[in-house]
Amino acid sequence: MPDPVSDIPDPAGALDTPGRELLAALVSIPSPSGEEAEAAARLAEFFGDHGREAWIDDAGNVRVPGDDSVLLTSHVDTVPGEIPVRVGDGDEELGVDGPVLWGRGSVDATGPLAAMAVAAVETGASFVGVVGEETDSRGARHLIEDRDAPETVINGEPSGWDAITLGYRGIVGGEYAVSTPAGHGARPDANAIDHATAWWERVRAVVAEENGDAEPGGFDTITATAASIDGGLSNDGSAVTASMAARFRVPPSEAPDSVCATVEDCLDAGEIEWRESIPSHADSPRSTPATALRRGIRAAGGEPTHLQKTGTADANLYADAWDVPVATYGPGDSAFDHAPDERLPLAEFDRAETVLTTACEQLID
């Protein structure tokens, strides 16, 4: 396979370790959801070069069997959007003097993915690079159906090298649709577009009431987001139609089904078809993977902290299906997730490699 690293501007000469080289190579290969094959092949090649069996499963996941005391897993895919890949020497905004790798996925989540690959090679831990996390989590869903549960899971997402993520909100998504007979625009009757917008206003009001005085968008709140809306006269002119895709983030205090019921209570016309559903996840700071990661952070000179994130991750699916301890960890500042200036200090990547290796050694021992 051609070496994409050779084309990366690197005035600092910083791509000088196997982990940094793998990270840069993967960031250089575009891998938006649905187009992960080339990056997956490069990842599998890395394991083969280091004496580990690696194969691509039917979903496109990179599977590396190993010691199932811990499964290291992160996602190969990224969101769309090109960011020229380069290494900068220092970053005033980040307060970093050393080299910084710029590129789509450097933070979410190719940085965690590459750090986990190195730790898996060093320790013999099981590893899977999954596909589709940014869209429908098809890789994680296939993995759950296709293999036995490991003893513990460390899921790769950016937390910062000295922090551990213990919880994510869940998500439920659906498509609202309504149709009304076509009529003259001078008539006062509400048409489908009126019904759709009125329904959404009621939903937003009920969600705000449910959340009470809590800060909007916080971990313990419901968040309602309109993902898309479409409407107008049907092709044959007989009806006015409207549709809206909506997604709801669900805190641990709520079940997805209860949020669905609340939303359905707001209907006065039309219907909603529920599709995507992932439960929330909140694990104990005393779980075995969290404890091992804390020890790794301290051994690397850090003081660990714990996070709860308002988004959703594959960690939720693993915890729900396998009923094993799950902690999420990885280098990078999640403020740069999906951002046009996504970048990762390489010293932070190195520390995360060390933390993960130390944690795996403890879990496997």
Alpha helices in 109-242 (DSSP H): 110-123, 138-146, 192-211
Could you give the CA distance from residue 27 to residue 105 in angstroms, rounded to a whole number? 6
Distances (CA, A) of 38 to 22, 25, 31, 310, 360: 13, 11, 8, 31, 28
pLDDT over 90 (residue 208): yes
Query: What is the per-residue pLDDT across 319-333, written as a single tens digit (0 to 9) for each?
Result: 999 999 999 999 999
Q: pLDDT tens digit string along 135-174? A: 999 999 999 999 999 999 999 999 999 999 999 999 999 9
The candidate with the shortest Cα–Cα distance to 279, out of 297, 261, 258, is 258
Q: Is 196 helix (H, G, I), strand (E, B) or coil?
A: helix
Average pLDDT of the chain is 94
User: Helix, strand or coil for residue 26?
Assistant: helix
For the domain bounded by 172-276, which CATH number is listed? 3.30.70.360
Instruction: Give the architecture-level CATH label for domain 4-169+280-364.
Output: 3-Layer(aba) Sandwich (3.40)
Distance between CA atoms of residues 97 and 88, nearest Å: 10
**Active site members:** 77, 133
3-state DSSP call for residue 146? helix
Tokens of 132: 């589709």
What is the residue extent of each domain of the chain?
4-169+280-364, 172-276
362 dihedral zone (left: phi>0; alpha: psi -120 to 50; beta) = alpha
Q: For residue 111, what are its two tokens?
A: 């940085």
Give this prediction's pTM.
0.91
Q: Is the model's pLDDT at 186 over the cut of 60?
A: no
Q: What percentage of the chain exceeds 90 in pLDDT? A: 87
